[in-house]
A and B are shown apart, each in its own frame.
Chain A
């Protein structure tokens, strides 16, 4: 058993949650007679859940540091309203509006970060206030639905990568190339990392396990690219956006000093302070960051709907928080991963889609999602307790 663990890299919990995702996918694949994994459904799975994944990336960092952010849903409505008005009423170019949206996100994040990091008010309270403040402001700004946004803006969430390279075997070539490039990048980076580790004379996974891991990951990417290439329009634009964010933030949290500081703060705040971590600045940056990502999510959400409404983003914070906890983040901070949060978001997304295809009532969908959240965390807790009975 321990040798299997070793071969898998020792992080069984992470695999547990991936296993759960695969099990859920297979379950729905059966109950929906294979409809779940139809190319168009996969594309819309990504498009419909992009906002959760983007928010979950920001949220998992907040949660690792031992905080919480309840305000992201309201901020999406607020920023979405301003971006839509900038295009519709002020007649700005959609790119300018996008930049305004991102900047505004960072500013809102800095506002909340100031209260948390420099005044020392618990994030729960600051963001609860933010939830009310920005929902109120959104209602003030967006009196009635702002629709009729530029087509290019709406394409962010609804569009696909253009079909520059034509078709191969009746499949979009750009998507296939994208898949191939991703696989190549994955293999190259993994091989390089492994070579580097061995060069330093450090322990690496056995060759067999390493190859198996890379092959499985590559096969998964290849399969997804192949299926997506056969969808209505190929790879959705948001897929690229989300992919870039996942890679960037996995790197930041896993490989940079900043990421290390976040884990240190969440793991033991006092020890972090006494180790010379500038905890205030790190906390401030964490909130600026989730503000920025909330700005991105606001653009995606507004673009998806093709309109801004004051009620946009309602309860999105809970989706993001749930994704983080399903993905293995600890309520007490110090533990969590970007990849885990993404898998958590995907589990929620697949549940949504599968249950929708099965035409399950949306009230029941909500109840089922709640139950999944509870069971995921219970599973985690029991696992930990078993590991810690000494």
Chain B
């Protein structure tokens, strides 16, 4: 399969690659996580690594950065032509290889400057030189284009800026090879664009980058070459500036080993009665009570319909959903929720579940799952009443139900007794979906249902969403990815600064007009 059309990147004899990984094999008890992986990164390029979740991308980067020390894997690593035998991350950082993980590793209550020099304090004789610390930090911040003061605490800046601080921190270590693991996963479009610009400008300064990403459009925009990894093997390396243009479909073909004709499955919509309507919904910030987060929003969804909510990060999408879902967000909430033509008052999550509403959180690890518990107990967690009598659990019934969802949703797990924390992101998401489908809701609110999961699993999630709609459920999908909304929804609302600024039908919706609504400013200044 791999040797079909290897469009290998042209490496001229004069330029030695900055990094060569040869024949890397990493085995865990019972599993070959990496098998004979080869990676060549040219000096000064942006090299993307693509692959489904669980393909081995992160493992490969852990091998490279010394998290898996030399000796625990087979194969050779050459950095700047010299062999590497890293035992710890410090060893690799010493050589100029810095990895920035998806989950940022910053200390929230320390300042930007303190974080940048954490473990590398600017001191003389053990006493920290604060002037030097802040001065150097300011220089680094300028290089990454961040205008915050070095004194600002990390907790006071957004995720996008935190990402920049991480990069500044890497720069302070005289980085030569910067590895970014899913750098834009948590960022909105604007912050993502800024980050990509920064990576380009670092390239201009001679810094080589490896970027792991699921967002193929970003890869197409920024990468000079792309290595595709599938099932622990390096499949191919594509030259992004080659004669044949590399499309997203081309990359996907390598990732899944087949071509996805459609990225969105077909659905025949039979739209019925209105299931849920929200009228004049106004929500204030839970702590800063005077701040309006959702402003007089009106929206409705019918049975069998999939409705999208588009909005930039901070537009109030999650806040809208959670405030409706048993008032789990916000204060001073006003407005009406009408379910099947009748007004309902949802004061708690159990009220909402009883009313037939389910909310699948955007952050499944934090809000959706009990990672240290097993699959079956997670699936039944929201509807224990259905698997118990007089408060006593029916253990066999529970296992049977869990097994049913395991088949229905195609959850890849050895047994339903496996810990959810050990599953891949896509399978975890299927567990969360199962959990909420098991509550037998009429209305499902899905917040970023495909965040951080790979292309193949995305397709499966889309299929499940379509199936739910075909069963007559009303589905609301909140997503940052406009193509996803366009591919999935019958109708899309755009949200900007807490207000619904537009509503477009499937036929009229384009990325451009949605984006225009999403960025619409408030007419009256506050």
Contact surface of A with B, Cβ cutoff 8 Å:
10, 196-197, 199-200, 202-203, 255-261, 263-264, 267-268, 270-278, 330, 334-335, 389-390
Contact = CB atoms under 8 A, between A and B. Distances in A.
A264 B393 CA distance: 14
Contacts of B352: 276
A44 B370 CA distance: 42
The 6 closest A-B pairs by CB, nearest first: A267-B370, A276-B349, A276-B350, A275-B382, A200-B396, A268-B370
A264 B396 contact: no
Contacts of A277: 349, 381
Interface in B347-393: 348-350, 352-353, 359, 361, 366-373, 377, 381-382, 384-385, 388, 391-393
B349 A256 contact: no
B369 A271 contact: yes
B393 A260 contact: yes
A109 B388 CA distance: 28
Q: How large is the interface on B (under 10, 10 to 19, 20 to 34, 35 or more residues)?
A: 35 or more
Contacts of A263: 370, 373, 377
Contacts of B371: 267-268
B250 interface: no
Nearest to A333: B372
Contact of A274 (B349, B372, B385, B400): B349
Contact of B388 (A197, A257, A278): A257
B328 interface: yes
A95 B31 CA distance: 63
Contacts of B298: none
A335 B359 contact: no
B393 A256 contact: yes
A256 B392 contact: yes
A153 B349 CA distance: 48
B406 interface: no
Contacts of B350: 276, 278
Given A263-B377, A276-B382, 17 more contacts: A200-B400, A202-B403, A203-B415, A257-B392, A258-B391, A260-B393, A261-B384, A267-B370, A267-B372, A268-B371, A268-B372, A270-B367, A271-B369, A273-B349, A274-B361, A274-B368, A276-B350
Contacts of B349: 273-277
9 contacts: A202-B400, A202-B403, A256-B388, A268-B366, A275-B381, A276-B326, A276-B349, A334-B372, A335-B372
Given A10-B417, A202-B396, A274-B367, A260 B28 contact: no
Nearest to A390: B28
Contacts of A199: 396
Contacts of A330: 372
A387 to B, nearest CB: 10
Contacts of B403: 202
Contact of B373 (A10, A203, A267): A267
Given A260-B377, A260-B384, A197 B366 contact: no
A261 B326 CA distance: 18
A264 B377 CA distance: 9
A196 B393 CA distance: 14
B399 A202 contact: yes
B385 A257 contact: yes
Contacts of B369: 268, 271
A272 B371 CA distance: 12
B348 A200 contact: no
Given A276-B348, A276-B382, A271 B399 contact: no
B435 interface: yes
A200 B435 CA distance: 22
B395 interface: yes
A334 B421 CA distance: 13
Nearest to A259: B393
Contacts of B395: 255
Given A202-B396, A274-B359, A276-B350, A389 B384 contact: no
A255 B396 contact: no
A276 B353 contact: yes
B396 to A, nearest CB: 4
B130 to A, nearest CB: 34
A118 B51 CA distance: 47
B385 to A, nearest CB: 7
Contacts of A334: 370, 372-373
- Determine which residue in A10, A268, A277 has the highest number of CB atoms from chain B within 10 A of its CB, and name it: A268
A128 B490 CA distance: 57
A263 B420 CA distance: 14
Given A202-B400, A268-B370, A335-B372, A275 B435 contact: yes
A10 B367 CA distance: 28
A203 B406 CA distance: 15
Nearest to B366: A270
B518 to A, nearest CB: 26
Contact of B328 (A259, A267, A273): A273
